[in-house]
């Protein structure tokens, strides 16, 4: 298998497993409890945990982006070519939709359905921008300071963002698309997906800009 094919397979598989976890845990949570706080907790913890696992095992293969917004940032940083960004994004989106199908099949549901959960309004768009901004600056800051900690930092960032954003932190265009094909707890109306994707990309670019300002100088001691 060529290097590019291996990387694309890693991105597709990793994103599929991520979305299967997001959607599957959402379905399981609603089956086990009627309490919305417990449902969100039941959706949050598996998502954060699987991110640690997936980034740890796939980062040496593809960089473990699993997220077109992250891939865009890496392309702007010239760590990924334009064609590489396009290929990564297509692989991530295909894997994400496959992940929704896998989750549905595991829970005896139709493989794909059109999402109906309305998620629109300025407060949610701001939340998605903030969530993606936070994710990008966390990744770039950790890559500079402690590259070995990226899996844990990303998992913790998403776990936290599920709770401090009103949108529950999609923060990923591919995952957002895939969640547009489920009516489960984690779903989003398909018509609301485009706006989420736009603000996610905007948040990612702002995160990159902030990281460039904050982390452009060599590391210095806190007391200097």
- Per-residue DSSP letters for 52-102? HHHHHHHHHHH----SHHHHHHHHHTTSS-HHHHHHHHHHHHHHHHHHHHH
Confidence class for position 1, pLDDT limits 50, 70, 90? low
pLDDT digits (tens, 9 = 90+) for 119-139: 999 999 999 999 999 999 999
pLDDT for the residue 2: 79
Confidence class for position 224, pLDDT limits 50, 70, 90? very low
Mean pLDDT to the nearest integer, 23-50: 96
Mean pLDDT to the nearest integer, 19-26: 97
* 219, pLDDT greater than 60: no
Confidence class for position 199, pLDDT limits 50, 70, 90? very high
Mean pLDDT to the nearest integer, 138-151: 97
Q: Which residues contact 202 (CB under 8 A, 6 or more apart)?
A: 129, 132
What predicted TM-score, i.e. pTM, was given to this entire model? Answer: 0.94
pLDDT digits (tens, 9 = 90+) for 148-186: 999 999 999 999 999 999 999 999 999 999 999 999 999
pLDDT for the residue 216: 80
pLDDT digits (tens, 9 = 90+) for 60-111: 999 999 999 999 999 999 999 999 999 999 999 999 999 999 999 999 999 9
Long-range (24+ apart) CB contacts under 8 A made by 191-199 are 192/118, 192/119, 192/120, 193/115, 195/120, 195/125, 196/119, 196/124, 196/125, 196/128, 196/167, 196/170, 197/173, 199/125, 199/126, 199/128, 199/129, 199/132
Cα atoms in the Cβ-side hemisphere of radius 13 Å centred on 103: 32
* 141, pLDDT greater than 80: yes
pLDDT digits (tens, 9 = 90+) for 202-218: 999 999 999 999 998 65
Give 3-214's CATH code, choosing from 1.20.1050.10, 1.20.1080.10, 3.10.290.10, 3.40.50.970.
1.20.1080.10
pLDDT for the residue 217: 66
């Amino acid at each position: 298998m060529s290097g590019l094919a291996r990387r694309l397979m890693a991105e597709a598989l990793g994103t599929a497993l991520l979305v299967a976890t997001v959607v599957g845990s959402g379905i399981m949570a609603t089956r086990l409890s009627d309490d919305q706080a417990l449902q969100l907790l039941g959706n949050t913890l598996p998502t954060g945990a699987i991110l640690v696992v997936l980034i740890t095992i796939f980062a040496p293969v593809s960089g473990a982006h699993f997220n077109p917004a992250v891939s865009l940032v890496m392309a702007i940083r010239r760590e990924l070519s334009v064609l590489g960004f396009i290929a990564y994004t297509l692989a991530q989106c295909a894997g994400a939709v496959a992940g929704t199908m896998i989750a549905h099949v595991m829970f005896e549901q139709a493989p794909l359905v059109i999402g109906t959960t309305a998620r629109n309004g300025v407060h949610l768009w701001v939340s998605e921008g903030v969530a993606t901004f936070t994710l990008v600056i966390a990744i770039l800051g950790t890559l500079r300071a402690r590259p070995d900690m990226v899996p844990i930092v990303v998992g913790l960032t998403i776990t936290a963002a599920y709770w401090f954003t009103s949108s529950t932190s999609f923060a990923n265009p591919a995952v957002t698309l895939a969640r547009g094909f489920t009516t489960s707890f984690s779903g989003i109306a398909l018509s609301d997906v485009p706006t989420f994707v736009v603000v996610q990309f905007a948040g990612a670019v702002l995160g990159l800009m902030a990281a460039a300002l904050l982390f452009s100088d060599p590391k210095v001691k806190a007391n200097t």
